Amino acid sequence: MSSPRLSLKIAALGAALCAVGPASAAVLVYGDQDLLGTGDYGGADPTAGATLEGLAAGAVTLGSNAYGHGYPFTPAVGDFPGTDQIYVGSVQTGGSDGYSASPRLNGPQVVSLDYAALHGVGTKITSLTLGIAADDFQYPAYVLAPFVATVNGVQNAALTQILNQVNLGGPQELFLTVGIDTAQLSPNDVLTLSINATGDGGDGWAVDFFTVGVTTAPVPLPAAVWLFGSALAGLGALRRRV
Ligand SMILES: [Ca+2]
Ligand SMILES: [Ca+2]
């Protein structure tokens, strides 16, 4: 005859093995929403109009409004690495805009976005939506400097295309999102984003903040585990009646 405590533990173990959580979705924000450190959004949500989670791979959405601001600017102490910082291309041989003559760093802009907090135990990621508060991207105004973006080391066609289409015309920030192929995600739940300007590298840019939205679904348990869990749960129930 087993003790009540042992029976309870067996029943709980069986229930845990059988449990499947619901599908879920959540968004993380990396960096402060302070318009590159130049001010604020006047009470508006800079992500309004864009889809923050659940985008299919390659899908792109844009925020409803662009926000103008002054420059130059430099990161404040404690800013999320890679935000509120003006970048130019890794090889800058010319200057096309005001940013390219401002305090700046050579690209590529490399950012690590850890979203492990959104990836629950026993779940799989069904979509990842990357958000970028993109500032001062001006291709093709400066045709010598198209942008190239990679995700986890692989050039991302959709992101590269939209960064070369927004043509913000000057110090204007526009939030955009893109769906990332889950097959390109890293097992460590860190997304490494790289943005660079090619050509003369002289079209500077910046990012105010990033977002990552993740949707997940339970991982179906193998049949053998289901049977084992059910057997344990049944054993627990049986022992409680003894
Ligand atoms: Ca620019
Ligand atoms: Ca910021």
How far away, in angstroms, is 190 Cα from ligand 1 center? 28
Q: What percent of the chain has pLDDT over 90?
A: 78
The number of CA neighbours under 13 Å toward the Cβ of 89 is 22
Q: What pTM value is reported for the model?
A: 0.84
pLDDT for res 6: 31
The answer to whether residue 10 scores a pLDDT higher than 80 is no
Could you list which residues have their CB under 5 Å from ion ligand 1? 97, 99, 136, 138, 203-204
Q: What percent of the chain has pLDDT over 70?
A: 82
Tokens of 224: 């053998």
Region 11-31 average pLDDT: 60
How far away, in angstroms, is 239 Cα from ligand 2 center? 59
